[in-house]
Structure 1
Amino acid sequence: MVAAPAASMASTITGPYVDLGGGYNLVQTQHAHFSPTTQADGSMGNEGTKSRFRHKDGFTGFGSFGWGFGNGLRAEVEGVYNYSQLNHRRPTYANGSTSGSDQSYGGFVNVLYDIDLAQFGLNVPITPFVGVGAGYLWQHYNPTTTAYTNGNINRVGGTNGGFAYQGIVGAAYDIPGVPGLAVTGEYRMIGQTFSDGSFASTAYNSSGVHKGNVNFDQRFNHQFIVSMRYAFDTAPPPPPPAPVVVPPPVAPARTYLVFFDWDKSLLTGRAREIVAQAAQASTHVQTTRIEVNGYTDNSAIHPGPRGQKYNMGLSIRRADSVKAELIRDGVPASAIDIHGYGEAHPLVPTGPNTREPQNRRVEIILR
């Protein structure tokens, strides 16, 4: 009798992964300060023009390569491209219309944390995550033109780079039947700073052509993204055990096996059924004591002796979980002996550092 791992249970990433996605890019209204020489209304005053540029629709796309450490933490390198339309500028010294677009491209280094819902007793294929990133983006303004009703024109353009940062909130959905593949949905906020005089501004009016610069304040992008993520080092779930038809009458078994997910000590619903069967059988067969022995496979989060010590503790935690469930099913605590054997006595012999589902078990033996 076997308690198989739940196929719908989400898992944190261990090892390399890639992520590709895209979505909607919304840029907050930007504040700009033009140098006096580039006013386009013909007044040519001593003060520069202060205006607000409003953005319309935009999109974003990114690709990243990362590494999961098996404990929820991930680190990744990301390349990103952003595009946004510009369709409004106010105030100006004369009425007019503005049209243009801008784009940015560059990279981030991100650190993220996956929140394993199984630790809260929720065995669902969804894993929320949060993250932060820092990097560098080049911002390019395609010729953005303001045409005034008095015939004057102002044009903004140029490319400049600056420090950028981002915050990330999202969730991943593990696709059933395809180990390692997940669909993610996330929100990102990207902020970027620029140096003074970063971009060019040119004015065309009755007195000629006037060149100068324009300064933009911090830029904030709000992005809503869908992506496909694939983790390479993901073992497929074991097939469900074949049903066993036992002709009656049959004496209750004296050995029961309960299996666990990798690096987990929580009991699944099927595992609790197996423990309940063992508790009930202990009342129908001659039993003087019940042995509960915990084991792990020989894979580990940490290499060497440290990993072996960790697996020993994990095997004891698994045995403790089964003992607690037996007690809840009516078995006296004094009748239960628990032992943890770590990686010793595998049910299925394997090579070193191998994830073997059948070795992640607890044996309940009725003596």
Structure 2
Amino acid sequence: MKRRTAFLAAVAAALPLAAQAQPITGLYVGAGGGVNIMQNETDKSVNGVTSAPGKSLQMDVGATGVGSLGWGFGNGLRAELEFDYRYNSLDQSINPGFRNGTLHGSEQKFGPMANVLYDFNGLSPAFVPYIGAGAGYQWADVSATNFHTATGTAGEFAYQAIVGAAIPISAVPGLSVTGEYRLMGLAGDRTYDGNGVTAVRTDDFNHSVLIGLRYAFGAAPAPAPMAPGSVAIPAPAPARSYLVFFDWDKATLTGRAQQIVKEAADNATKVQYTRIDVNGYTDTSGTPQYNQGLSIRRGQAVAAELVRDGVPKNAIAIQGFGETHLLVATGPGVREPQNRRVEIIIH
């Protein structure tokens, strides 16, 4: 056991940057940069003449940068606005049946995007994978100095898919290193009419790999690590037994009784229960037969309120004990408020 404790302590010391990942709640900012790989852009037509199949522009590997402002909802869901920039230099013009020509110039893309992302918190104590999708608008600016390549700026609706992971930095609460892959595409055709040529192009697909930083404001510091050999003190378990009291000869819930039932229903979601007992009781006023029926009606009223508060009906067992099992011992015919009750027990 001592060697195991020492090993765990050594692992913790060897990973000073890792921190327990927490869901993002509230405002955050992010920025990243990396490489952008463009698929070939197809020329659909040049100067009004339909291009031969396969006529396209080929790009070199380029660069990309992204800045974002977002909001985390505390349940893994995030929404953000971003502005991105991509740059790729032109490589060559591909024209089947003709000699391909080396190009000099570039294509730059930039614009705003709105993204929705989901963090898979709890899968790992050290990193959080996430996925997302976005939509927005991108301007594509093409410049070229040879081969009569059409140039200019054209804008189109854009969409993207995002897969990434975040690694929190324990030294700075709220700060994380991020790694992402993004696929972004521009929808529709774009018309360029500069450099003495008019061309209609399509198929602007971009594969981007980025490394970045993200900072969530208001993040709580990570709990201090336990010293080797120390024992963690578990948090108090939610209450598992509740008493609901009734007015004399009544089976209706008071406002306070409804609050207690709601508290019991809420805490039932925090434990792995197998069943919930709802046991009804009465005082000794009235006949034993009447009190038996009254105790069952009280139990049914509490069970119905539990169901309204989200507890599955098939998880509840109702029993009536009438004037037996008194909470306060009395003689017959006594109206004792504490005996007019229902007990909720979460097993």
Please give the range of the TM-score, normalised by the shorter of the 2 chains: 0.5 to 0.7
In structure 1, the residue matched to 2:192 is: 199
- Say whether 1:188 aligns with 2:189: no
Q: CA RMSD in A?
A: 3.2
Q: Which string of whole-angstrom CA distances, capped at 9 and with x for unpartnered residues, describes residues 249-287 of structure 1? A: xxxxxxx95139xxxxxxxxxxxxxxxxxxxxxxxxxxx
**Alpha-carbon shift at residue 47 of structure 1 (Å):** 5.6
Q: Indicate the SS of the match to 2:23.
A: coil
Cα distance in 2 for residues equivalent to 1:138 and 1:195: 12
| Percentage of matched positions with identical amino acids | 37
Q: Pick from 11, 18, 25 the counterpart of residue 29 of structure 2.
A: 18
Residue 230 of structure 1 aligns with an amino acid whose one-letter code is Y
In structure 2, the residue matched to 1:134 is: 135
Residue 34 of structure 2 aligns with an amino acid whose one-letter code is G
Residue 258 of structure 1 aligns with an amino acid whose one-letter code is P
In structure 1, the residue matched to 2:252 is: none
**Alpha-carbon shift at residue 168 of structure 1 (Å):** 0.1
Cα distance in 1 for residues equivalent to 2:162 and 2:261: 35
After TM superposition, the structure 1 = structure 2 runs for residues 42-121 of structure 1, keeping only pairs within 5 Å, are: 48=51, 51-91=55-95, 94-95=98-99, 96-118=101-123
In structure 2, the residue matched to 1:226 is: 211
Q: Indicate the SS of the match to 1:117.
A: coil
After TM superposition, the structure 1 = structure 2 runs for residues 1-367 of structure 1, keeping only pairs within 5 Å, are: 8-36=19-47, 48=51, 51-91=55-95, 94-95=98-99, 96-118=101-123, 122=124, 124-146=125-147, 154-195=148-189, 198-200=191-193, 202=195, 211-239=196-224, 257-259=233-235, 292-293=237-238, 315-318=267-270, 320=272
**Alpha-carbon shift at residue 8 of structure 1 (Å):** 3.5
CA shift in 2, pair 1:258/1:136, >3 Å: same
Q: Indicate the SS of the match to 1:155.
A: coil
Residue 116 of structure 1 aligns with an amino acid whose one-letter code is N
CA shift in 2, pair 1:182/1:310, >3 Å: farther
Q: Which string of whole-angstrom CA distances, capped at 9 and with x for unpartnered residues, describes residues 199-230 of structure 1? A: 0254xxxxxxxx44101112100000001000
Q: Is the 8 A contact 2:90 2:104 kept in 1?
A: yes
Residue 72 of structure 1 aligns with an amino acid whose one-letter code is G
**Alpha-carbon shift at residue 91 of structure 1 (Å):** 1.3
Q: Which string of whole-angstrom CA distances, capped at 9 and with x for unpartnered residues, describes residues 81-108 of structure 1? A: 1100111111167534322211011010
**Alpha-carbon shift at residue 238 of structure 1 (Å):** 3.7
Residue 162 of structure 1 aligns with an amino acid whose one-letter code is E
Residue 189 of structure 1 aligns with an amino acid whose one-letter code is L
Q: TM-score, normalised by structure 1?
A: 0.57
CA shift in 2, pair 1:60/1:311, >3 Å: farther
CA shift in 2, pair 1:212/1:56, >3 Å: closer
CA shift in 2, pair 1:14/1:309, >3 Å: farther
Cα distance in 1 for residues equivalent to 2:146 and 2:263: 65
In structure 2, the residue matched to 1:41 is: none
Cα distance in 2 for residues equivalent to 1:234 and 1:195: 44
Cα distance in 2 for residues equivalent to 1:312 and 1:233: 31
CA shift in 2, pair 1:115/1:244, >3 Å: closer
Residue 208 of structure 2 aligns with an amino acid whose one-letter code is Q
Cα distance in 1 for residues equivalent to 2:161 and 2:32: 16
**Alpha-carbon shift at residue 61 of structure 1 (Å):** 0.4
CA shift in 2, pair 1:242/1:36, >3 Å: closer
Residue 22 of structure 2 aligns with an amino acid whose one-letter code is S
Q: Indicate the SS of the match to 2:20.
A: coil
**Alpha-carbon shift at residue 194 of structure 1 (Å):** 4.1
CA shift in 2, pair 1:173/1:156, >3 Å: same
Q: Which string of whole-angstrom CA distances, capped at 9 and with x for unpartnered residues, describes residues 301-340 of structure 1? A: xxxxxxx99987665455559xxxxxxxxxxxxxxxxxxx
Cα distance in 1 for residues equivalent to 2:129 and 2:119: 6
Q: Is the 8 A contact 1:294 1:319 kept in 2?
A: no
Cα distance in 1 for residues equivalent to 2:75 and 2:194: 51
CA shift in 2, pair 1:293/1:163, >3 Å: closer
Q: Is the 8 A contact 1:161 1:194 kept in 2?
A: no
Q: Indicate the SS of the match to 1:259.
A: coil
Question: How many residues are aligned here?
Answer: 235
